[in-house]
């Protein structure tokens, strides 16, 4: 740990504060104001003038200022305006060769921020270039053109660029103490002037904390991951406050990436009830309400794509007048796949308008809402100047927002955006300058304007890394202290490549990373600065910064023994010698009381929920009679996969991950379409009394014609849900019709060859049986039932979209049990018989269940069955000798008699299912619902099973 006898800032303040002509300059405003506060406590002064504590930027404005009597300093926005117009001129008649390649001159708007950032350095570049460079390349030539045009612009409007000036230093009779100047990014520019005026200036450099100066390195605690790291920070602060009696506001957390870590830190501190204030300024466009203008820009530039409209309308920090209508529009867009508008055959197609026109059920309110949204959004883009944008904004606001319901924070942000717009209007009026796309320009401006929400709360201060390094705190805590995150280096002429920079400047970039680490140690006044780092950060892997000594805690088992949540948990699970914690947080106490109250209101909650589901499940069995349980092959599969999953997915709960994405064709679209075509085709054959017939790989013309009609009908089919073909989907399917026909024709030919001379007995037929004894109703729907015209045998065929969808486990392997008398197998058979059903190697339910249903309902004995994959046009026989013969399969399959064993087993599963649903038995089985299954389950975020399994990981 570094030990400093006395803080150097404090020492200088004590020695010089009484001299009223001394001024103290700090790198940041925060450091200046906090040292001004502290000076009253560490010196004999009762009060100090705040003007004597300056931030570096303010000092430059006061003491190192240019005097350009007849001109005014160029506003940074005017630099942007100049570049926008320059890019427009370059698009008309390109003069840049390297800065903007001629190829991209027409679409170079996105270069504007970068080119504007070069302008302040251009004066210095020219000076160095004239001194040190002998030959001009294309890039130098472009920079010279840029210099000339910018100079012309400055002269035209009577501006000067302060960054180009060589200002003289004016002491005004004062003596300046400049603290830690080397960490300022522009120090190199001022170094010469300030170092040469020693009588008025004392430069105070960062003390050297290196080992040669007898300082021991401070440590950085290295954790396994960022979650543990942040938990540790919260615990450390809690401990510093309660044990070391350090005030909350005397502690500061510094964070290199606030965007990424901000909300996680917030959560950990909330949990530990630590008051805190996030001092984080972000771009106006990065705030939820300020994002409005970017979202409008995205809508306009994407011609109202679904995603852009969705983002705008779901921005709930905005006070929408009618959020329900907005939701309806989003739902319409998703249902009708209004992904994007497009141009087809020279015609501009607005997919929303076409979909409204094509909709079966009209909702004029939603349609009108879209039309007016479109009209108002367009006005922003059509605005010819900044004043028109302001008019468009207020019209939009009056139409869609209810400002009475606007939150205070959103109101302030929107107000600030409007005042930024006002500043642009002032410039526009004053200098009569317009930009090519005023609305895009304004939206970009909001990206460069920082906004710091005024926080009145009192507590631990959270800053971006570097901001508070020079400010005095009782304890500084720095998170994510990795080599990469704490790297601070400054590059002059960063717009040039490395070789050119070195040649021109004759020096390397300055790296001040170690200086910042030292400053945090120096200004942590009561407790040593606390650095932490994690191997697995929130977005990458990291290693601790090398300026500090690593304290490796990655394998430490007991990290937070005093944490009230850990103590409560240990007590709850009955760990040895664990008492209930003497003190718990208010959050813990409230949670417990809520839980207690809930238990009183609903004492048998779990049973009631199960009753409700069972009751509803019986109701869905329709007229089947009281308490009849509804069964289907997909419900069976779901239940034996996991009963809890069944519960989450059942019709009554129907829990689904919220998904507002619109996709053109979902993953079931192709399968649904092929199924529809086959249904229409096979029904047409049945209705016309045509057999399946093919000769020499060619279908007769009448079959081809039926197929053509079936494809047309299926594409235009206006079904519901997944089967619904909206406007855009139909258009797309029409364009892919030849490929669809190829696949389905290939399939039909193969299918017809295998089942040549069979007739279609049923297609998409409903099956339904009621079982009186066990009181259940089993429903199903078959794809196709064929009858052999020669021998009268039946073939049950189920279509699958591809080979991958064909079930692999088709039979109940009874043989294993039969051989039980022969030694080894006996044991395994006995064990297996005693296993609960869900642990047994159960077969796919479809073919056995449907064979059974056919027999019961239609009194038909199914002698053969097969799956048929559409994409591969391949048959997968399941049972029946005739089936094996027709498929010409070498694989041995059972006949229908042997297959009955599998059917019987499935009936056992059905009865077990009915019984368990009736008594609400949704018990899990550790062996089936194991870690592999649960970690891949879509419900694992709401199912507590994940936690239990994770514990045994
Ligand atoms: S996480 Fe596991 S137990 Fe929970 S629903 Fe999914 S599979 Fe079932």
Q: Ligand 1 mean position to 383 CA, how many Å? A: 55
Question: 577: pLDDT confidence band, cut at 50, 70 and 90?
Answer: confident
* CA angle at 58 for the pair 57 and 62, rounded to the nearest 5°: 120
Residue 883 is predicted with a pLDDT of 93
pLDDT tens per residue, range 133-148: 667 889 999 999 999 9
Q: Give me the phi and psi of 701, to 5 degrees please.
A: -60, -35
User: Between the CA of residue 545 and those of 51, 508, 514, 523, 542, what are the distances in Å?
Assistant: 37, 21, 9, 19, 9
Tokens of 930: 């194991």
Residue 859 is predicted with a pLDDT of 87
* CA angle at 79 for the pair 77 and 80, rounded to the nearest 5°: 65
Predicted confidence (pLDDT) at residue 363 exceeds the cutoff of 80: yes
Residue 339 is predicted with a pLDDT of 85
Q: Ligand 1 mean position to 843 CA, how many Å? A: 21
For every residue of 472-532, which 3-state class applies, written as one string?
CECEEEECCCECCCCCCEECCCCCCCHHHHHHHHCCCCEECHHHHHHHHHHCECCCCCEEE
* Distance, CA of 387 to CA of 427 (rounded, Å): 11
Residue 583 is predicted with a pLDDT of 83
Q: Ligand 1 mean position to 835 CA, how many Å? A: 20
Who has greater pLDDT, 610 or 909? Answer: 909
Predicted confidence (pLDDT) at residue 717 exceeds the cutoff of 90: no
Residue 598 is predicted with a pLDDT of 67
**Dihedral-angle region of residue 322 (phi above 0 means left; psi in -120 to 50 means alpha; beta otherwise):** beta
Q: Which residues contact 793 (CB under 8 A, 6 or more apart)?
A: 787, 863, 864, 880, 882
8 Å CB contact between 188 and 492 = yes
Q: Ligand 1 mean position to 926 CA, how many Å? A: 10
Lowest mean pLDDT among 13-17, 396-400, 830-834: 830-834
Provide the β-strand partners of residue 536. Answer: 225, 541
Q: Longest Cα pair distance anywhere in the chain, in angstroms? A: 117
Predicted confidence (pLDDT) at residue 488 exceeds the cutoff of 90: yes
pLDDT tens per residue, range 23-65: 999 999 999 999 999 999 888 888 889 899 999 988 887 776 6
Q: Ligand 1 mean position to 925 CA, how many Å? A: 10
Question: What mean pLDDT comes out for the span 415-426?
Answer: 95
Pocket test for ligand 1, best of 938, 940, 946 (most atoms within 8 A of CB): 940
Pocket test for ligand 1, best of 943, 944, 947, 952 (most atoms within 8 A of CB): 943
Question: 660: pLDDT confidence band, cut at 50, 70 and 90?
Answer: low
Residue 822 is predicted with a pLDDT of 42
Tokens of 118: 């070069």
The ligand 1 atom nearest the CA atom of 645: 5
Predicted confidence (pLDDT) at residue 257 exceeds the cutoff of 50: yes
8 Å CB contact between 713 and 733 = no
Let me know if the fold of 212-281+456-552 is the same as that of 669-935: no
Residue 843 is predicted with a pLDDT of 86
89: helix, strand or coil: helix
667: helix, strand or coil: coil
Query: Ligand 1: does its nearest atom lie under 6 Å from the Cβ of 939?
Result: yes
The ligand 1 atom nearest the CA atom of 940: 1
Residue 145 is predicted with a pLDDT of 94
Provide the β-strand partners of residue 476. Answer: 252
Q: Above pLDDT 70, what percent of the chain?
A: 89
Tokens of 622: 């329709």
138: helix, strand or coil: helix
Pocket test for ligand 1, best of 655, 932, 934, 936 (most atoms within 8 A of CB): 934
Tokens of 868: 């048929």
Residue 323 is predicted with a pLDDT of 93
Tell me, which fold does domain 212-281+456-552 have in CATH? Rossmann fold (3.40.50)
Q: Ligand 1 mean position to 924 CA, how many Å? A: 9
From the CA atom positions of the chain, what is the Rg in Å? 38
Residue 169 is predicted with a pLDDT of 74
Predicted confidence (pLDDT) at residue 746 exceeds the cutoff of 50: yes
CATH of domain 669-935: 3.90.320
Provide the β-strand partners of residue 283. Answer: 450
Q: Which residues contact 809 (CB under 8 A, 6 or more apart)?
A: 841, 842, 843, 844
* Distance, CA of 681 to CA of 12 (rounded, Å): 94
pLDDT tens per residue, range 786-807: 999 888 999 999 999 999 999 9
Q: Ligand 1 mean position to 642 CA, how many Å? A: 6
The H or E element that residue 255 is part of is strand 251-255
Residue 760 is predicted with a pLDDT of 94
Query: Ligand 1: does its nearest atom lie under 6 Å from the Cβ of 865?
Result: no
Query: Ligand 1: does its nearest atom lie under 6 Å from the Cβ of 638?
Result: no
pLDDT tens per residue, range 703-716: 999 999 999 998 88
Question: What mean pLDDT comes out for the span 930-934?
Answer: 86
Residue 836 is predicted with a pLDDT of 83
Question: What mean pLDDT comes out for the span 850-873?
Answer: 92
Lowest mean pLDDT among 384-393, 653-662, 913-922: 653-662
Query: Ligand 1: does its nearest atom lie under 6 Å from the Cβ of 228?
Result: no
Query: Ligand 1: does its nearest atom lie under 6 Å from the Cβ of 924?
Result: yes
Q: Domains of the chain: which residue ranges? A: 8-65+167-205, 72-164, 212-281+456-552, 284-451, 564-601, 669-935
The ligand 1 atom nearest the CA atom of 944: 4
Who has greater pLDDT, 876 or 334? Answer: 876
The mean predicted confidence, pLDDT, of the chain is 86
The neighbour count for residue 663, using CB atoms within 10 Å, is 13
Residue 816 is predicted with a pLDDT of 47
- The one-character DSSP state at 466 is T
Question: What mean pLDDT comes out for the span 441-459?
Answer: 85
Question: What mean pLDDT comes out for the span 160-165?
Answer: 82
Q: Using the structure block, give the residue that is written with the tokens 């289907």.
A: 632
The neighbour count for residue 418, using CB atoms within 10 Å, is 14
Give 110: exposed, middle or buried? Use CB within 10 Å, 0-12, 13-18, 19+: exposed
Give 165: exposed, middle or buried? Use CB within 10 Å, 0-12, 13-18, 19+: middle
Question: 361: pLDDT confidence band, cut at 50, 70 and 90?
Answer: confident
Who has greater pLDDT, 595 or 860? Answer: 860
Cα 675 from chain centroid?
35
Question: 251: pLDDT confidence band, cut at 50, 70 and 90?
Answer: very high
Atom 7 of ligand 1, residue of closest alpha carbon: 934
Predicted confidence (pLDDT) at residue 721 exceeds the cutoff of 70: no
The ligand 1 atom nearest the CA atom of 935: 1
Give 894: exposed, middle or buried? Use CB within 10 Å, 0-12, 13-18, 19+: middle
From first CA to last CA, the distance across the chain in angstroms is 38
């Amino acid at each position: 740990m570094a030990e400093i006898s006395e803080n150097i800032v404090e020492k200088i303040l004590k020695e010089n504060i009484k001299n009223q002509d001394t001024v103290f300059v700090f790198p940041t405003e925060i450091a200046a104001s906090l040292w001004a506060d502290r000076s009253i406590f560490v010196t004999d002064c009762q009060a100090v003038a705040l003007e004597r504590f300056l931030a570096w930027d303010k000092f430059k404005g006061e003491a190192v200022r240019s005097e350009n009597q007849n001109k005014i300093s160029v506003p940074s926005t005017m630099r942007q305006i100049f570049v926008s117009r320059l890019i427009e001129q370059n698009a008309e008649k390109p003069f840049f060769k390297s800065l903007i390649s001629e190829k991209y001159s027409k679409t170079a708007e996105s270069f504007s921020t970068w080119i504007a950032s070069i302008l302040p350095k251009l004066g210095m570049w020219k000076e160095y270039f004239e001194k040190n460079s002998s030959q001009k390349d294309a890039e130098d030539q472009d920079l010279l053109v840029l210099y000339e045009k910018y100079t012309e612009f400055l002269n035209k409007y009577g501006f000067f660029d302060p960054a180009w000036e060589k200002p003289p230093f004016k002491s005004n009779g004062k003596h300046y103490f400049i603290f830690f100047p080397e960490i300022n990014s522009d120090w190199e520019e001022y170094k010469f002037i300030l170092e040469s005026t020693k009588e008025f200036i004392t430069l105070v450099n960062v003390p050297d904390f290196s080992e040669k100066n007898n300082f021991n390195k401070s440590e950085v605690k290295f954790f396994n991951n960022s979650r543990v790291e942040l938990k540790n920070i919260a615990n450390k602060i809690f401990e510093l406050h309660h044990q070391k009696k350090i005030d909350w506001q005397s502690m500061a957390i510094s964070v290199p990436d606030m965007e990424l870590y901000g909300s996680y830190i917030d959560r950990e501190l909330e949990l530990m009830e630590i008051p805190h204030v996030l001092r984080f300024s972000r771009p106006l466009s990065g705030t939820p309400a300020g994002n409005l203008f970017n979202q409008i820009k995205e809508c306009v530039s994407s011609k109202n794509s679904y995603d852009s409209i969705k983002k705008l309308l779901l921005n709930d920090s905005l006070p929408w007048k009618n959020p329900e209508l907005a939701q309806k529009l989003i739902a319409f867009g998703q249902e009708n796949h209004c992904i994007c508008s497009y141009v087809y055959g020279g015609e501009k197609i607005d997919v929303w308008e076409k979909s409204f026109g094509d909709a079966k059920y009209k909702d004029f309110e939603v349609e009108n809402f879209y039309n007016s949204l479109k009209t108002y959004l367009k006005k922003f883009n059509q605005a010819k100047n900044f004043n028109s944008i302001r008019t468009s904004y207020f019209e939009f606001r009056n139409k869609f927002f209810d400002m009475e319901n606007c939150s205070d924070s959103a109101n302030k942000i929107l107000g600030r955006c409007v005042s930024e717009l006002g500043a642009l209007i002032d410039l526009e009026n004053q200098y009569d300058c317009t930009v090519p796309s005023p609305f895009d320009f304004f939206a970009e401006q909001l990206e460069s304007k920082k906004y710091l929400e005024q926080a009145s709360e009192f507590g631990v201060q959270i800053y971006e890394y570097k901001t508070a390094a020079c400010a005095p705190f009782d304890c500084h805590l720095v998170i994510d202290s990795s080599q990469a995150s704490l790297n601070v280096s400054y590059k002059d002429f960063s717009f040039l490549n490395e070789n050119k920079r070195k040649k021109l400047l004759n020096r390397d970039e300055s790296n001040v990373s170690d200086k910042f680490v030292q400053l945090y140690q120096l200004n942590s006044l009561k407790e040593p600065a606390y650095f932490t780092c994690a191997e697995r950060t929130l977005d990458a892997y990291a290693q601790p910064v090398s300026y500090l000594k690593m304290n490796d805690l990655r394998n430490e088992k007991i990290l937070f023994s005093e944490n009230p949540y850990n103590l409560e948990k240990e007590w709850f699970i009955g760990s040895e010698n664990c008492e209930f914690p003497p003190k718990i947080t208010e959050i813990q106490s409230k949670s417990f009381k809520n839980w207690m109250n809930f238990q009183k209101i609903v004492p048998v909650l779990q049973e009631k929920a199960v009753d409700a589901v069972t009751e509803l499940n019986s109701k869905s069995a329709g007229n089947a009679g009281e308490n009849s349980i509804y069964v289907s092959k997909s419900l069976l599969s779901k239940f034996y996969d996991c009963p809890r999953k069944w519960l989450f997915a059942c019709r009554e709960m129907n829990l689904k991950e919220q998904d507002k994405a619109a996709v053109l064709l979902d993953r079931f679209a192709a399968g649904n379409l092929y199924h529809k075509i086959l249904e229409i085709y096979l029904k047409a054959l049945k209705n016309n009394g045509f057999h399946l017939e093919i000769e020499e790989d060619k279908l007769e013309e009448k079959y081809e014609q039926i197929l053509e009609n079936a494809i047309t009908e299926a594409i235009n089919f206006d079904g519901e849900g997944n089967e619904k073909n909206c406007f855009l989907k139909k258009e797309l399917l029409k364009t892919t019709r030849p490929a669809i026909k190829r696949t389905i024709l290939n399939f039909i030919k193969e299918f017809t060859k295998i089942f040549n001379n069979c007739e279609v007995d049923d297609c998409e037929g409903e099956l339904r049986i009621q079982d009186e004894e066990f009181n259940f109703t089993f429903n199903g729907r078959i794809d196709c039932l064929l009858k052999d015209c020669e021998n009268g045998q039946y073939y049950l065929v189920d279509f699958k979209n591809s080979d991958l969808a064909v079930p692999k486990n088709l039979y109940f392997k009874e043989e294993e049990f039969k051989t039980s008398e022969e030694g080894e197998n006996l044991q395994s058979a006995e064990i297996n018989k005693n296993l609960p059903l869900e642990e047994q190697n159960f077969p796919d339910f479809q073919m056995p269940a449907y064979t059974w249903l056919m027999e019961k309902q239609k009194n038909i004995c199914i002698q053969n069955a097969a799956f048929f994959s559409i994409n591969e046009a391949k048959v997968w026989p399941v049972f029946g000798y005739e089936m094996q013969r027709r498929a010409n399969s070498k694989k041995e399959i059972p006949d229908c008699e042997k297959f009955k064993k599998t059917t019987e087993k499935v009936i056992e599963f059905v009865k077990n299912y009915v019984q368990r649903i009736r008594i609400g038995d949704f018990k899990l089985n550790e062996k089936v619902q194991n870690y592999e299954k649960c970690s891949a389950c879509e419900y694992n975020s709401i199912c507590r099973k994940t936690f239990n399994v994770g514990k045994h990981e």
